[in-house]
A and B are shown apart, each in its own frame.
Chain A
Amino acid sequence: MSKAESDGQHLARLLETELQGKVALRRVSYSDRELADPIAKGRLVASLESAKLVVALGDESSRLVLGEVENARVYFVAASASGQTLRGGSVSCLFTYSAEDLLRALPEKAKRGVLVLYTPGYEPLLPEIKAAAAKAGAQVTAKSVAGRRQLPDAVRDTEDMTKAIWVLGDPILDEGASFEFLTERALALGLPLMTAAAGRVARGAALASVAAPESLTRRAAQAIAALAAGGKAGGLALAPAGGPIIYNAALKDRLGLSPRAPQWQKAQ
């Protein structure tokens, strides 16, 4: 079983425990093989579409739901991406990373100019990020990027003031050619690149944060219970502080990172 699978199972168990007796959950699991089988995939998507609320745990499930589910309400937990691809009656998302943890992990000089890049749809996160910046003693500048083509200019326009770059996880910015551009640019300028998905750290980013499963599922359970009672889940939210920081050991000295055990963990 991969780490993603075991993490997903662990989150599912914690969530079921938190909601036991309060909300009836039905666990749905699937494999790559089933997704490649159009019969099995059709049955899976049909069952999700009819659910009153779909809770997607982790990036793998989030990608499936983002790609296939159109009408059901969706609550993403421990996802690293959200944004304008979400449609329909959804959507709420509890991201897997903590703004406060990430900003505190930066070297002091990097805190003085954090460029936050985001795509339309991520605006609701900005107040939480600014509040976390105030707590961490950081200064952030948020810049909306409409798409991949606008990314280079968005970075170059603010290079003079930028001491760190933080990408809020939309796949448009956080994957493929965009991610390669950001890692190269950050490396060339000697800036830490903070990313939403821990997996990106091994591929060139400097830092990522992962929520502690217990506090994450506690917050998710509160939101799900609120939804079950007919209330609103609160749009997009970041994970509570206190989880691990994933760092790129190869960039530690160059960027002046100061890993602190046990919270800091090397990217695998």
Chain B
Amino acid sequence: MTAESVTAPPMSTERRCPVVNFDVGEPRPVGAYIEELGRLREQAPIMWNDYANGFWMLLDQETVREAFQTPEVFCSDATIFTAPEPNWHWIPTMENPPQHTQYRHVLNPPFSPRAVKALEPEIRRAAVETISAFVDRGSCDFVPDFATRFSTRVFLAILGLPQEDTERFVAWVEAIFAGFGGGEEAMAAMAVAQQESHDYFVALLESRKRDPLGEDDFFTALLHSQVGDRPITDEEFVNIADVLLLAGLDTVKSQLGYMFLHLAAHPEHRRRVVTEPAVIPGAVEEYLRAFSIVMDGRKLAQDVEFHGCPMKKGDMVMLSVPSASRDPREFADPDAINFDRKANRHVAFAAGPHRCLGAHLARHELAIALEEWHRLIPDYVAVETDALRETGPQLGLDSLSLRWEVPS
């Protein structure tokens, strides 16, 4: 229990809401973030967080959803809420409508439900190949051994990149995400990984220019795309590739970690996944809700009085999806993991124009991971779980030791 959660936080007359000092990057025991953010949510839907540069926190479903749906006020000029003046630009993440719409027009088709459905055999293959590396060992560290490798293989498959590059991408992803919130050494390794992966995409661009593949090859189609009424530039091409790497891998890895931590400890839920495959889509949706991993950031594009709070142009805002997804005003019995939940309009994939591009792919990956894993390893336990830590601002486990019996 931390000091800020035992007593009600003080009210600020200036900000017309409670004020806290909550470090959203530090490692905490697994589950602590959702618990603490939920406690804050029940005190007030909006708070001012004095930590770092200071930012508003939107904690409940109503305010989070509304902010996502109002990009002209809550804009994406800055999306890391502790970095109000970023010296980087991410496409399409940091674009605002109408330019944002032009980029999504290019990117939506290759990530559409139909395109993702066609990828299903490769996603299954990626799951089975990844599991086969350790299935006979009776143990694994789920996060690096399955979650990272499986999501990386799928990433390469949808982008038409060689599976032989799996280990290179795994190393880059691990270095990049260890760098966020890490010390000096971790940040130096992150910079190297970002440069190397960037250089890979620069070389890829040249390769596609020299030898374009068919239009169903992601990067060939991207090379030939129009942004509005003019061709995409080389800078935009590489920028988008860099962003897909950042946005598409760590998220799936993190979501898988929470799902399997829960399933390892809940034999009844696991039994349903094994014996009732029809429950899997509902299970995926419920896990996305109950273990929402993203704390998103927006910047105020104008002064606004938002649910009674005087927000100023330039203020940063943290959209606490993890606590919004457990809001009892929206979700009945919100802390229960209910695969049969009927009304589940969570915003784990955000809402409004920045609705996650990879949502359909992510859902398929998560469903297929559940199917293929439980076909091969229906019974397992998690060990050494007391030592498990999660870190913000994008929640995730770095490690999850699983054990199962291997037929002799």
Judge: A and B partners, yes or no. no
